[in-house]
A and B are shown apart, each in its own frame.
Chain A
């Protein structure tokens, strides 16, 4: 016996109620996770930052140096391979130092034009992969100091995603 096909009404109204429920849940979730202050610091690619209990947020946009497994990157520009930094004996990473000194000179010039004190120490944020050896980190940090960037901060990932 042939099975009887069920008949459907042709004008079924589209129910928005379930869609509204879904949207409300998403909206509440989004509001909970919203960061109204915005991000002054974004994580570089190809590296994992260490997790820390620190909750200190950067107060201004600063020059960023990134040290990942492959390169030392200054302001999104690959400067020197990390392996070369590890291999060198000297504390000063010359190529990084040259770029940082140029940037520092520009910053000081800009400060003078704005009528701000130009001799204040420069601010720099260093993003380092959590598995990078201390030797590379120490050399990059010392180079920042030599170039006039003595206010150094390390970027870290807040523990539990920053949740209280």
Chain B
């Protein structure tokens, strides 16, 4: 007798309604607990001037063995001082990037160009031709970059130094993250071409897969993989200073005040620059940061 073939029954969909109910409760709950931008804190020691010495107090004698490290930021250079002496100035060109409210596009100008425009009675121009508010443009700066400058003399306007960077952004909006260094801890860099070195040097190529590179971070040496994004971008003065700070901290590790640093700035220095310098100092190992004013 031939075996009767069973007819496949109608496939029933599982009842998804209870699961949907669960999801509807879970999603709003998680939404309230989600943080899309995370806040942190940077601890700081009090300003030097607030720790006042009374008139009748005898100031303590200066410690000859102390490092007394300071990092000063002036209008166009950064300088490290220790034991009464100073390292060579790290000159920079300050670049301001604004995001225009009118077209949401980014525009980058040199700080001195913006100031000249504002002095002539106009606001910085957007890509669509509109002008920013010349009273409030200072609070619309999205990023401040300090492009390192190579100078032959004090009078020399200098040339922008370009370097190889890890690209942390997208193809449309590249973002320079960490500067690459070679085996001798030197930046992969060259002075730019054209007026002021504003053009990328043709001889400097972005690192390619297979190349051995490192960053300023310890134990960061590695070989670039095919997916790693790299770029050539103006070398940041912050990176040059970070490299010097790491070298100083390593060299004077035995001193009592090796973890102390005083950041000194002008009255008009933006808070963002202070935080960037504090970040570089902390990363180099300086855990006790004081703040002071230039000439204060």
> Which A residues are closer than 8 A to B by beta carbons?
16-17, 19-20, 23-24, 26-27, 30-31, 33-36, 38-39, 41-43, 49-58, 69, 91, 125, 128-135, 137-138, 141-142, 145-146, 150-158, 160-162
Contact = CB atoms under 8 A, between A and B. Distances in A.
Given A20-B16, A69-B139, A161 B38 contact: yes
Contact of B46 (A58, A135, A152): A152
A30 to B, nearest CB: 4
Max chain B CB contacts within 10 Å: which of A16, A33, A50, A151? A50
B136 A56 contact: no
9 contacts: A23-B20, A23-B27, A30-B26, A50-B276, A133-B271, A141-B46, A145-B46, A156-B275, A157-B38
Interface stretch (B87-95, B151-159, B243-251, B261-269): B261-269
Given A30-B30, A130-B272, 10 more contacts: A43-B37, A54-B40, A69-B136, A91-B50, A131-B141, A133-B271, A135-B268, A135-B293, A152-B43, A157-B39
Summarize A's interface: helix, strand, loop or mixed. mixed
Given A69-B139, A91-B49, A134 B267 contact: yes
A142 B47 contact: yes
B30 A31 contact: yes
B120 interface: no
A60 to B, nearest CB: 11
Interface string B207-229: 00000000000000000000000
Contact of B270 (A16, A125, A133, A160): A133
Nearest to A15: B13
B275 A52 contact: yes
Interface size class of B (residues with CB under 8 A): 35 or more
A161 B275 CA distance: 17
Contacts of A30: 26-27, 30-31, 34
B274 A134 contact: yes
A82 B44 CA distance: 22
Closest 7 pairs between A and B when the two form their complex, measured CB to CB: A162-B38, A30-B30, A135-B267, A130-B272, A153-B41, A16-B16, A50-B275
B29 to A, nearest CB: 9
Interface of B: 13, 16-17, 19-20, 23, 26-27, 30-31, 33-44, 46-47, 49-51, 136, 138-139, 141, 168, 265-272, 274-276, 278-279, 282-283, 291, 293
B30 A34 contact: yes
B267 A153 contact: no
Contacts of B269: 133-134
B192 to A, nearest CB: 26
A16 B268 CA distance: 60
Contact of B44 (A58, A153, A160): A153
A39 to B, nearest CB: 6
B271 A137 contact: yes
Contacts of B168: 160
A20 B46 contact: no
B46 A56 contact: no
Nearest to B168: A160
Contacts of B291: 138, 141
B32 to A, nearest CB: 10
Contacts of A17: 13, 16
